[in-house]
């Protein structure tokens, strides 16, 4: 069995952002040489997410509005976690949007459903954050 590990780094210009990282994961898959197996992609930070969904800008604005209703950033004082930090909302948003995606690898390709793409969701950005890609298979 082959095993491949790669770290991707993202630094967004805004506090919150959604980035389609599918091409980066496909590059990692190519480098791995794996044809049949599994690909795990996970945020290595507790205020960022990796999830699979549609690459449609209206939907991304809907995610932003929905998450702001569930866990509004402001006022910072509404959260017990805030004090030294101001990112309680980002922890909550990360929990809702998830830590990781696992995608099957079939015939050397990511085996997606219709319109599926892999996204990095940033909720407390403007600094380097890591994403792990771990690929196992043959």
Task: At 120, give phi and psi (nearest 5°).
Answer: -100, 120
The SS3 call for residue 40 is: strand
Nearer to Zn ion, 18 or 79 (CB): 79
Q: Which residues inside 78-107 make contact with Zn ion, applying CB under 5 A?
A: 85, 87
Least distance from Zn ion to the Cβ atom of residue 85, Å: 4
Length of the chain: 138
Least distance from Zn ion to the Cβ atom of residue 135, Å: 30
Nearer to Zn ion, 36 or 85 (CB): 85
Q: 18-56 burial, b for 16+ CB within 10 Å, e for fewer?
A: bbebbebbeebbeebebeebebebbbebebbbbbbbeee
CA separation for the pair 124, 91 (Å, rounded): 9
Nearer to Zn ion, 94 or 133 (CB): 94
Give the interface segment with Zn ion, choosing from 11-19, 25-33, 77-85, 129-137 (CB under 5 A).
77-85
Least distance from Zn ion to the Cβ atom of residue 81, Å: 6
Nearer to Zn ion, 32 or 87 (CB): 87
**Binding status of residue 45 toward Zn ion by CB under 5 A:** no
Least distance from Zn ion to the Cβ atom of residue 88, Å: 6
Provide the sign of the torsion angle of the four alpha carbons 109, 111, 116, 119, taken in this order.
Answer: negative
Please give the residue ranges that form the binding site for Zn ion (CB under 5 A): 85, 87
């Amino acid at each position: 069995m082959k095993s491949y590990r790669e770290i991707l780094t993202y630094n967004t210009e805004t506090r919150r952002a959604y980035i389609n990282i599918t091409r980066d994961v496909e590059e990692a898959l190519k480098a791995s040489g794996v044809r049949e197996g599994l690909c795990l992609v996970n945020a290595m930070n507790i205020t960022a997410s990796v999830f699979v969904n549609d690459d449609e800008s209206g939907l991304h604005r809907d995610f932003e509005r929905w998450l702001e209703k569930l866990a509004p950033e402001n006022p910072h004082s509404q959260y017990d976690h805030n004090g030294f930090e101001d990112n309680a909302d980002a922890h909550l948003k990360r929990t809702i949007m998830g830590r990781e995606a696992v995608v099957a690898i079939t015939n050397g390709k990511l085996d997606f459903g219709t319109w599926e793409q892999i996204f990095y969701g940033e909720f407390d950005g403007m600094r380097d954050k890591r994403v792990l890609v771990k690929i196992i298979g043959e």
